Amino acid sequence: MNYKLSVFTVSVLAVLVGCTSQPTPSAEWSCRNILTEIACSGTDCTLAPVGEFTPMELTFDTDGGMLLCAYSGCWNGSAVEISTAGNYFSVVGLAMPWSGTDAAPADISATINMKTMVAVVLTDDYAHPMICEIS
């Protein structure tokens, strides 16, 4: 599988969604990285195509609530930074507690384009484009 094609597919999907959706005021979004998993370490990132990973799920809201679930648990807490600029809404949570086993608290940043409903979530280990819907 051509991994560049997967990133290209995400980009095309974001443009298509943007052409058909208008910004919608919302209090909460639910998002998933359905097309790929991007794991990063140091200066290198790797892509796992569809079928070779379990999608993460992100829920976040305009009050700063954040929940990022992966494999065996979730990071859950409140953002320390919340901002809105144009179509973009962003939250940043620091040392978000982990509810499962074998993981530590994590810093998490999420930004959604409220017009295209595409978000990006960043942690120390992941950089995921995500497709979102209003919860």
Q: Containing domain of residue 79, as a range? A: 3-134
The band of 18, judged by pLDDT with boundaries at 50, 70 and 90, is: very low
Q: What is the distance between the alpha carbons of residues 7 and 96, in angstroms, rounded to a whole number?
A: 28
- Domain count of the chain? 1
DSSP state of 126: B
Mean residue pLDDT of the chain comes to 84
Nearest 5°: CA angle at 126, between 128 and 34? 35
Q: Is the dihedral of CA 101, 55, 106, 84 positive or negative?
A: negative
Least confident interval from 14-18, 25-29, 32-36: 14-18
What is the C-alpha separation between 27 and 42, in angstroms, rounded? 35
pTM to 2 decimal places: 0.77
